[in-house]
Structure 1
Amino acid sequence: MKFSLADDVRNIASMINNKLQMGVDLDKVVFIRSYGSKTKAYARTFSLPSQWRYVLETNTLYIVEVISERYDSLSCQDKAYVLTHELMHIPSNMSGGLRNHSYSGFSKLKHLLRKLEIPKEC
């Protein structure tokens, strides 16, 4: 499997974070694109444990990975849906933990997406 930084994904996530006022500090989130993954997921969010942050001397708290084979061919609206979903896993207090799917925001996801003015090309 190969990885690369995903600045295009960061830009879309920044737009979502700002327009929906999610309160996620994206300076503490790294966005990567993976190639060659066998997962059926479009994207995944990981929390970087405090021990790793200490050893690696980093302020990064979260990693959002998009799976190139599944994510890249999506429409802009679907990319926005996937990234909004992944950002919802990150609590606004940036505690290092992850929200699970029982968080109430996930049930409001489609309603939130109506607030976004998603460009035709992203």
Structure 2
Amino acid sequence: MKIRYVQAPDLDKRVKRIVKLLDLSHIDPDRVKCVRSYGTNAPKTIARIHGISKAFLTGVGMKPHYVIEFIAEKFDELPDDEKDEIIIHELLHIPKTFSGSLLDHGRIDFDGEVKILHKILKRKLSRETSQSSSQ
């Protein structure tokens, strides 16, 4: 089966919201795009982030961008909390320099950072919800 990629504006919006709520100021959410892939044969992968090399960026005269690929058959079935954790995990691969390169798993404690940031996100979302319901 051929892999099919589809733009995911709903996930673009979700990523932007997470970047804003977590104050990940080194990330330009307008240069992080999301796609859903269908037919990917990656047994353990739910999502992955793609960067663009400095040589490519220089060659085409483009600013750094990232694409987060979500394996639709797996990701779409998850509860919202898990989706948010996965998005946070993928965003942690983006270095503070926002250069197009990626941080590998050995550079930081991904699991620990995801847990901390997810707690902060849940608290902010909860606060947002309670404020909007009291208005």
Q: Does 1:29 align with 2:32?
A: yes
Q: Secondary structure at the match of 1:32?
A: strand
Alpha-carbon deviation of 1:5? Answer: 0.6
* Structure 1 residue identity aligned to 2:117: L
Contact 1:48 1:62 in 2 (8 A): yes
- Count of residues in correspondence between the two structures: 119
Q: Secondary structure at the match of 1:95?
A: coil
| TM-score for the superposition, normalised by structure 2 | 0.78
Q: Secondary structure at the match of 2:13?
A: helix
RMSD after superposition: 1.9
Cross-structure match for 1:79: 83
Q: Secondary structure at the match of 1:37?
A: coil
Q: Does 1:100 align with 2:100?
A: no
Q: Does 1:66 align with 2:70?
A: yes
Cross-structure match for 1:6: 8
Which runs of 5 or more structure 1 residues have no equivalent in the other structure? none
Counterpart selection for 2:93 from 77, 86, 89: 89
Counterpart selection for 1:38 from 37, 41, 63: 41
Take 1:10 and 1:105, find their aligned partners in 2: how far apart are those partners?
A: 25
Cross-structure match for 2:120: 115
Q: Secondary structure at the match of 2:121?
A: coil
Greater RCO (CA < 8 Å, at least 6 residues apart) = 1
Decide which structure has the larger Cα Rg and report it: 2
Alpha-carbon deviation of 1:56? Answer: 5.2
| TM-score for the superposition, normalised by structure 1 | 0.85
Which runs of 5 or more structure 2 residues have no equivalent in the other structure? 127-135
- Residues 32 and 55 of structure 1: is their aligned pair in 2 closer, same or farther, counting only changes over 3 Å? farther
